[in-house]
Chain A
């Protein structure tokens, strides 16, 4: 009995999905929205299927994955070491906190023109703006993770003879890890948003953002919905990926 209930428990999240599909299908049947604007779930699914198996959508998907992955990789490579260094001294972090918070609060899209001037109208601009936005989110989280490192643990390392550098690499880096992953998850979500927007408006010929806008302009509604759903799935997938890595890697978190 319990086993059955447990197995059914795994299916609970599906209720919302099925509910949404039913509401959508009903809306199509009763033509609540103009049928041109809202294709049926089946048509949309076919568009996703065709697009992802040998169609354009698959290529656009890969381009967006590539850009987002690159930007998050750059962001992490810069922000994790820098955040650890800044966070290891509260005084140092306080001195740059305003600048970090200011640019973290600045909509990254407002920086497109600036980055266009610096990096030109290529892929680099999209990747760099996304990396910039994500790096600030990661930096801020890493620095806080380091600043909130358990004092006892730092003392324990020190008392055993660890130098300042060793305390940083042996203790602080690990202590900040749970918070770092929060930063990475938020960072990758932001990077995806920026990449999609950039693909829509900055001289693009591919990517999910381009695909959404292009289908809309051609009035290919099922294709547009398909691109939106794939973008959603991608965002969800990135988040899930980092959660899985975190679970494996930061096994001590929550204990």
Chain B
């Protein structure tokens, strides 16, 4: 009940997709995590963990295996309960917040019994919108992103990358304030991954949505990020918070840019110390 009510309230406030590039990031943090604790059995993953994520930024989360990258965004997005701690979105709770989540396993996250277009439209069911408005929303999103997929096909008739794109569109159609992405490209082949990175960057430039992106690929994490959050292992701490200053849109040349290479070397250094240290 409360979810639907909150969703309705959020729908009323929903602004049309901004077409300009993201404005200068708000000084106030968008997501604040305070005193987060989480354990799985005897393993302490988070102990009194604090984090601020700024508004309108693309934040990549990176760290050694098993440091709790996915656990962090799953707790923030409400997929996992926290043992302790408070998470607020600009002072609001998760239920009052309009957010999207993109799963790693697009095959299991999409609904194969619905056509792609109906998959994208599905979350709008929980907002107080007429059928015409729903269709309008989807059409606008498709036009905005310049997507050239036959959306009348079922997801299983599309390639992996196309399916993940549908999955991303499904999370964007509600015009979320925050988008969580849990290793969204790790099930794709390399060619598709490169293409999807640029698609995601374009979405970010178009919408300016705050994005929290988990990746196991350092280069990808940096390439997409405004900020890279480096986590240490058990219990997780913020090992470093690195700002990436390369201008957007970034391209293949960015990868060999000296600033980029420097940031990457620094992150790799921190990462290797983390791995050796534990």
Q: List residues of A whose CB falls within 8 A of some B CB.
A: 150, 152-153, 155-156, 158-163, 170-171, 174, 177, 250-252, 255
Contacts and interface: CB of A to CB of B under 8 A. Distances in A.
Given A152-B103, A156-B109, A174-B113, A161 B3 contact: yes
B79 A252 contact: no
A252 to B, nearest CB: 4
Interface residues of B, number: 23
Contacts of B1: 163
Interface of B: 1, 3-4, 7, 77-79, 101, 103, 105, 108-113, 122-123, 126, 154, 156, 170, 174
A252 B77 contact: no
Contacts of B77: 159
Nearest to B2: A163
B108 A160 contact: no
B122 A150 contact: no
A156 B111 CA distance: 9
B117 to A, nearest CB: 16
A252 B105 contact: no
Nearest to B108: A152
A152 B78 CA distance: 14
Contacts of B105: 152
A25 to B, nearest CB: 48
A119 to B, nearest CB: 38
9 contacts: A150-B108, A152-B108, A160-B126, A161-B7, A161-B123, A162-B126, A163-B3, A170-B122, A252-B156
A174 B111 CA distance: 9
Given A156-B101, A156-B103, 10 more contacts: A153-B108, A156-B110, A158-B79, A160-B126, A161-B7, A161-B123, A170-B122, A174-B113, A177-B113, A250-B113
Given A155-B79, A161-B123, A255 B108 contact: no
B109 A163 contact: no
Contact of A160 (B113, B123, B154, B156): B123
Nearest to A151: B108
B120 to A, nearest CB: 11
Nearest to A251: B154
A251 B7 CA distance: 32
A255 B79 contact: no
A80 B189 CA distance: 40
Scoring B7, B105, B170 by chain A CB atoms within 10 A of each residue's CB, the highest score goes to: B105
B123 A152 contact: no
Contacts of A160: 122-123, 126, 170, 174
Nearest to B170: A160
A255 B126 contact: no
Nearest to B124: A160
A250 B113 CA distance: 8
A150 B106 CA distance: 12
A153 B108 CA distance: 6
